């Protein structure tokens, strides 16, 4: 699949549920209204959709949410998708999780072919963690991370840089990840969805400033490393660990975008930061063969835009999409 700007689409992110057992302040409102179950694709339909993308050249699948591991019988889908790893058509099957369910699922994930996971974790302070997630317990997450390590899963920690919240902890996060053998990626807060009283302008901390702060203590050497996503990586000389930066606002990564996002309702977003989308559920359910579905996918890719329109600054506020990140799939 080649988009209008010559980019090869090889990476599909799939939100298997919009539900989550946390309510992170930069992602969700505290009182969320979730999709009715009748609107959500079955696991069998998700398998068929993902498999169609694999046949069209997608070689990396990431399952997201919400929290993907709260989806009932999710291991059935992960086991099914693992067959594409065995054929060689899929290079990687992975997921992004908050780690709350990893004590239950880590071993099964490894057996299904998952080798690497991303874990969203913004603070090492239990009180701050509860404040950021509203409902989360840090000790449960730490137990999940230990289970992931024991199972043989490589872990990358994703931390959203939040001014006035975790800005005093970035050095601690680098040091902790170095000790644990985890990669670490800092992410700028993105203007996605209504989040209640929180003001994104106040949360927003440009990663150029984060990097400048980190340079006071750590030596960051640029490296030629990629996981297929948007992060740009450095090696922390003092710990040996990898440190990534995802900068959708200060330095977007649109020119090399190789991904599209599928929601749990079968809606395909060709860009995280644009509202244009394609309904794949109708084509999926219209026929038992994939001809109509494949046509719908190709038509959608032909509309993939050059880039997003995210804006956060003091003068213009936060120009945001109404979609919550949990709906779009991170």
Phi-psi group of 87: left, alpha or beta (phi > 0 → left; psi -120 to 50 → alpha; rest → beta): alpha
Residue 2: inside a domain, yes or no?
A: no
CA distance 32 to 40: 16
CA dihedral 176, 180, 186, 192 (to 10 degrees): -110
Distance of CA 149 to the CA centre of its chain: 20
Q: Report yes or no: 302 and 3 within 8 Å, Cβ to Cβ.
A: yes
- Quick one: pLDDT at residue 54? 98
- Quick one: pLDDT at residue 234? 95
CA distance 184 to 202: 23
* Token duo for residue 105: 């699922």
CA distance 192 to 317: 13
Q: Report yes or no: 172 and 241 within 8 Å, Cβ to Cβ.
A: no
62 marked among binding-site residues: yes
- Burial string for 39-71 (b: 16+ CB within 10 Å, else e) reads ebbebebbbbbbbbbbebebbbbbbbbbbbbbb
48 marked among binding-site residues: no
Residue 4: inside a domain, yes or no?
A: no
* Domain around 211: 11-328
- Quick one: pLDDT at residue 272? 76
DSSP 116: E
| Residue 227, phi then psi, degrees to nearest 5 | -105, 10
Residue 126: inside a domain, yes or no?
A: yes
- Burial string for 170-190 (b: 16+ CB within 10 Å, else e) reads beebbbbbbeeebbbbbbbbb
Distances (CA, A) of 111 to 27, 82, 166, 177: 31, 9, 35, 25
Q: Which residue has the tokens 């804006």?
A: 311
Residue 185: inside a domain, yes or no?
A: yes
- Quick one: pLDDT at residue 195? 44
What's the structural domain count of the chain?
A: 1
50 marked among binding-site residues: no
- Quick one: pLDDT at residue 317? 46
217 marked among binding-site residues: no
Residue 178: inside a domain, yes or no?
A: yes
Give the global pTM. Answer: 0.86
- Quick one: pLDDT at residue 112? 98
235 marked among binding-site residues: no
CA distance 213 to 215: 5
48 closest CA partner among 285, 263, 274: 285
96 marked among binding-site residues: yes
264 marked among binding-site residues: no
Residue 56: inside a domain, yes or no?
A: yes
- The radius of gyration computed from the CA coordinates of the chain, to the nearest angstrom, equals 19
CATH number at residue 167: 3.20.20.70
261 marked among binding-site residues: yes
271 marked among binding-site residues: yes
- Quick one: pLDDT at residue 255? 75
DSSP 98: -
177 marked among binding-site residues: no
Residue 6: inside a domain, yes or no?
A: no
72 marked among binding-site residues: no
Per-residue pLDDT of the chain (330 residues; tens, 9 = 90+): 999 989 999 999 999 999 888 877 777 666 677 788 878 999 999 999 999 999 999 999 999 999 999 999 999 999 999 999 999 999 999 999 999 999 999 999 999 999 999 999 999 999 999 988 988 899 999 999 999 999 999 999 999 998 888 999 999 999 999 999 999 999 988 654 454 444 556 678 889 999 999 999 999 999 998 877 778 899 999 999 999 998 865 555 677 788 999 999 999 999 877 788 999 999 999 999 999 999 999 999 999 988 765 444 444 444 454 544 555 555
Residue 247: inside a domain, yes or no?
A: yes
């Amino acid at each position: 699949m080649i988009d209008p700007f010559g980019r090869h689409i090889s990476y599909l992110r799939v939100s298997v549920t919009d539900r989550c057992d946390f309510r992170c302040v930069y992602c969700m409102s505290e009182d969320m209204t979730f999709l009715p179950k009748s609107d959500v694709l079955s696991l069998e339909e998700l398998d068929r959709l993902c498999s169609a993308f694999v046949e069209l050249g997608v070689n990396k699948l990431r399952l997201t949410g919400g929290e993907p591991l709260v989806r009932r019988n999710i291991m059935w889908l992960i086991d099914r998708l693992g067959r594409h790893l065995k054929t060689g058509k899929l290079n990687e099957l992975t997921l992004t999780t908050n780690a709350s369910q990893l004590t239950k699922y880590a071993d099964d994930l490894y057996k299904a072919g998952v080798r690497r996971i991303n874990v969203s974790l913004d603070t090492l302070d239990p009180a701050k963690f509860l404040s950021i997630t509203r409902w989360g317990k840090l000790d449960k997450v730490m137990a999940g991370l230990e289970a992931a390590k024991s199972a043989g899963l490589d872990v990358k920690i994703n931390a959203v840089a939040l001014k006035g919240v975790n800005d005093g902890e970035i050095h601690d996060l680098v040091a902790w990840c170095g000790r644990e053998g985890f990669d670490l990626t800092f992410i700028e807060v993105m203007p996605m969805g209504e989040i209640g009283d929180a003001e994104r302008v106040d949360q927003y901390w440009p990663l150029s400033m984060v990097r400048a702060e980190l340079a006071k203590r750590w030596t960051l050497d640029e490296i030629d490393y990629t996981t297929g996503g948007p992060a740009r990586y450095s090696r922390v000389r003092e710990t040996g660990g990898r440190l990534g930066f995802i900068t959708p606002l200060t330095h977007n990564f649109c020119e090399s975008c190789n991904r599209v996002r599928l929601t749990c309702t079968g809606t395909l977003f060709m860009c995280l930061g644009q509202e244009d989308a394609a309904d794949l559920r109708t084509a999926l359910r219209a026929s038992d063969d994939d001809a109509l579905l494949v046509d719908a996918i190709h038509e959608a890719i032909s509309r993939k835009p050059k880039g997003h329109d995210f804006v956060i600054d003091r003068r213009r506020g936060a120009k945001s999409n109404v979609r919550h990140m949990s709906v779009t799939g991170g």
